[in-house]
Amino acid sequence: MPAAPAPDAPPPRAPLPSALDTVGPETHYREVERVLRGEGWTPCGTGDWAVALASPDGTAAARISPFDPVGPFTAHLYEEAAATGAVPRLDLHRRLAGGADLLVMEFLLPIGEEEATEFFERMRRGDGELAGVSEVVHRVHTAALAELPWCGPLDANPSNVMRGADGRLVLIDPFYADGPALYGMAQEDPDRFVTTLPPAQRRHLTEIPLGDSGPWPEEEREALRARLQRADRERPAEDLITEAAAADVDGWGFDWLSGRATEERPEWGYARLRMEFFDIGAVAWILRKCPWWVPGFGVDTHRAQLLEVDRIIRRDGAFVAHSTRHLLRARRR
């Protein structure tokens, strides 16, 4: 039988920090964590894929993952099954830069393994009030399997059933990426991996915390980053240009260039900056991002020039460019 509701009603949900209003695909996951910590949110857990922060009033928790392909499907489940009461209250979901993920939901408490196992068994049978959530779980999971190359089976880990402040049991994180298969391909077949998962969706692939399965030595993380960057650069020029032409250039962020270009940043003032581009996609993207660099630039109208720059990169390892910047200081009279 389901547990009886706790005698105390859950505390009212406090408003989320206003700084989260502007969080989105251009926001680095570390910036989100910095903002929340500055608002008094405190660490309350670390798993393989994410860290969790608790709100100051204890009513909400933020799950921040550097890399989580299934995050959107988990959020979709919480939205679709909200009326069943068997999933957490979802306060906010945002995809972040480079495939990172932010999910804010009600704060939950752990339960015993026996109670969790019984919950899964009743959900599997579609008993009573769990019939609704069971149907949504299988529908969303089917969509995830069709769309994601490394989506695993449903996760019946007892830790994936928790208790809300109102006493009800809820299902969390039933979907997961098959980490051994995903990272195994990245290690053993990087050329295939980089064409399966676009760079914009895996910028922080090597930054997951691995709180349960770790540690993951930094030298091994760096070796995998280098292997994938090398495989990215060796992709055909046309593929890199097409990818850059379709990439988002809105906002202030330059995270798309991570691992694909570097820039010297001397002190402000009169400065001649040196930039290195390691693949032609980075060149095409920056020229779309900063259209004043080459007025009238387009990947179609300038394709011959892009292919010539690609030949330079493949011959020399990088294309070096310079720009001059000035800082103007004004004083109000």
How do residues 97-123 score in pLDDT, each as one tens digit?
Answer: 889 999 999 999 999 999 999 999 999
Q: What is the mean pLDDT of residues 306-312?
A: 94
What is the model's pLDDT at position 145? 95
Highest mean pLDDT out of 3-12, 172-181, 255-264: 172-181
* pLDDT over 80 at 185, yes or no: yes
Q: Encoding tokens for residue 248?
A: 């988002």
Within 8 A by CB and 6+ apart from 31, the residues are: none
Percent of the residues in the chain that have a pLDDT greater than 90, as a whole number? 69
Express each pLDDT in 208-226 by its tens digit: 999 988 899 999 999 999 9
Neighbour-count burial of 197, counting CB atoms closer than 10 A to its CB (0-12 exposed, 13-18 middle, 19+ buried): buried
- Would you say residue 165 has pLDDT above 50? yes
* pLDDT tens-digit series, residues 61-77: 999 999 999 999 999 99
Average pLDDT over residues 297-311: 94
Q: With CA atoms as reference, report the closest residue to 166 among 281, 101, 85, 228.
A: 85
Question: Over 70: is that where the pLDDT of 7 sits?
Answer: no
Other C-beta atoms closer than 10 Å to the C-beta of 258 total: 17
- What's the order of all strands across the beta sheet hosting 169-171? 109-110, 161-163, 169-171
Distance between CA atoms of 131 and 266, rounded to whole angstroms?
Answer: 61
Please count the other Cβ atoms lying within 10 Å of the Cβ belonging to residue 9.
10
Residue listed under structure tokens 């280098």: 226
Among 174-188, 202-216, 314-328, the least confident range: 314-328
Burial of 278 (0-12, 13-18, 19+ CB in 10 A): buried
Q: For residues 173 and 123, what is the distance between their CA atoms, to the nearest angstrom?
A: 15
Range from 58-72, 211-225, 292-306, 314-328 carrying the lowest mean pLDDT? 314-328
Average pLDDT in the chain: 89
**289-296: average pLDDT:** 93
For range 41-56, the mean pLDDT: 96
What's this model's pTM, rounded to 2 decimal places? 0.77
For the segment 305-312, the average pLDDT, to the nearest whole number, is 94
The mean pLDDT of 320-330, rounded to a whole number, is: 75
Q: Specify the pLDDT at position 269.
A: 55
At a CB cut-off of 8 Å and minimum separation 6, what does 313 contact? Answer: 233, 277, 278, 279, 280, 319
Provide the pLDDT for residue 268: 54
Label residue 267 by pLDDT band (50, 70, 90): low
Can you tell me which residue has the tokens 């053993």?
188
Two tokens, residue 24: 């989105």
User: What is the pLDDT confidence band of residue 175, given thresholds at 50, 70 and 90?
Assistant: very high
